[in-house]
Amino acid sequence: GVRAEPALCWSGVLPLASAAVPFDAAVVPGSPSVRMLCRDASKPGRAATVDRGALWTAVSTPQLARAMAGSAEAGAGLRRREGPRADAAAAKLLSEEVSLLLAPFLGGEHLRPLSATATLWSDASAADSLHHPHECVSLPAWRLAIAGEFVKEAASPLEAAALSGLAAGEAVAAAL
């Protein structure tokens, strides 16, 4: 079977100066704390500004999520999804990490979020894959394909999910 890993999902409204960042989304394989970062306005139909700022989303590494869930300051509240102190501790830490990641693209400026929240997802992503030989599990007779980061390993879980989804779409289209 496939085991699941936790993740913290950070949502923060950054000052409009964050519009100068030259990308809408990034996978951060070298970071010990942030796995993925995304500008919310890059998603279809989303507003360019929210509350006089730009909404960004970050997903933590499983290691950071486990550490925060186990910390004395945030642990109990994160595990039970209660307590503003727990959410505030995770939001503050991830706000600092996002600021550090974006600073090189903003001339070294560290942006402080206008607001930020963090939520723990105990089963956010697959800890391992099924090691399937293909990116998706295809069942042509049923015009069905099973896709996800858990099917076959890739350089990152996001890459595995994207490749799996593309392969599933092609498999279903070929079966039609």
Residue 2: pLDDT above 60? yes
Q: At what angle do helices 84-102 and 62-70 cross, to 10 degrees?
A: 150
Convert the pLDDT of each residue in 121-146 to its tens digit. 877 777 777 888 899 999 988 989 98
| Cβ–Cβ < 8 Å for 130, 2 | yes
In angstroms, how far apart are the furthest CA atoms of the chain? 56
| pLDDT confidence of residue 77 | 46
More confident residue, 82 or 18: 18
Which residue's structure tokens are 């723990």? 120
Q: What is the pTM of this model?
A: 0.74
Amino acid letter, 25: A
- C-alpha dist (Å) from residue 26 to 39, 78, 91: 9, 26, 19
Enumerate residues 6+ apart whose C-beta is below 8 A from 44. none
Q: For the chain, what is the radius of gyration of the CA atoms?
A: 18
Convert the pLDDT of each residue in 16-75 to its tens digit. 888 899 999 998 988 999 999 999 888 888 877 788 899 999 999 999 988 887 764 454
Convert the pLDDT of each residue in 93-124 to its tens digit. 999 999 999 999 999 999 999 999 998 887 77
d(CA 36, CA 158): 8
| Cβ–Cβ < 8 Å for 33, 58 | no
